[in-house]
Every structure is written in structure tokens, then in C-alpha cells.
Amino acid sequence: MAETSDTRTPAQIEADIKRRREVLAETLDEIGVRVHPKTIVGDAKAKVAAGIDHTLGQAYVKVNRAVSEVRAQFTDEDGAPRVERIVPVALLAVGVVGLLTLGSRRRKR
């Protein structure tokens, strides 16, 4: 704890003032760095990049989960294809492509 002012010597007071000036100078330097436009822009960029990384990470997890769920619908526990599910979907896809092709041919005439 600091001594009372009446028991300190002038040299102790001067040393205390010098130490406090140095601490104040460091604090002002730190504040100057924090409020510098480049620092503010850098911090903003870092926050945006972190947000984007987080969002992309979440999107990757969701897509990976969806792909795994679809894959599970068309393969059995051993990883073998489930023909009884693949064939109807393939026929449906061929039918949709066929209808789209016919529709585009009729528009060209």
C-alpha cells in the first residue's frame, strides 16, 4: 500500500510521479493503437471472417448430414445399393427429363 504523503520523502514522491507517468504513457499508447483506423478495420475484418467461417462450418455440417441421410435411404447397413429404392427414383428422373425435352421441342416449333 502507498505511504501517506506526509511520511514520504521528496525523492519517493518524484519516483512515484515518474512511475505513474510511465504507466500513463503506456496506457495512452495502447489506447492510440486501439482507436487507430487500421486497428479498427482489422478487428472488423477479423470479426467478419470469423462469422463467415462459422457460417460456412455450419453449412458444411448441414450439407454433410443431408447427404448422409440421402445416402442412407439408398444403401443398406453394409453399403450395398438398395435397388428397390434406386430404380423408381431413376425412372422418375428419366421421366422428368423426357417431359422437359418434349416441352422444349414443342416451344421451338
Q: How confident is the model at residue 109 (pLDDT cuts 50, 70, 90)?
A: low
- Please report, in angstroms and rounded to a whole number, the separation of the first and last CA atoms in the chain: 97
Stated length of the chain: 109
Q: For 72-81, what is the mean pLDDT?
A: 89
HSE of 87 in the Cβ direction (CA atoms, 13 Å)?
A: 3
The residue behind cell 439408398 is: 74
Q: Is it the case that residue 5 has pLDDT exceeding 70?
A: no
Mean pLDDT of the chain: 90
User: Domain locations in the chain?
Assistant: 83-109
Q: Report the interhelical angle of 37-74 vs 10-35 (nearest 10°).
A: 50
Query: What's the mean pLDDT in 4-26?
Result: 90
pLDDT at residue number 77: 85
User: What confidence tens digit (pLDDT) does each residue in 28-56 have?
Assistant: 999 999 999 999 999 999 999 999 999 99
CA atoms within 13 A on the CB side of 101: 6
Given this model, what pLDDT does residue 106 score?
77
Round to whole Å and give the CA distance between 17 and 94. Answer: 86
CA-to-CA separations, 79 to 25, 63, 74, in angstroms, rounded: 68, 20, 9
Cell triple for 10: 521528496
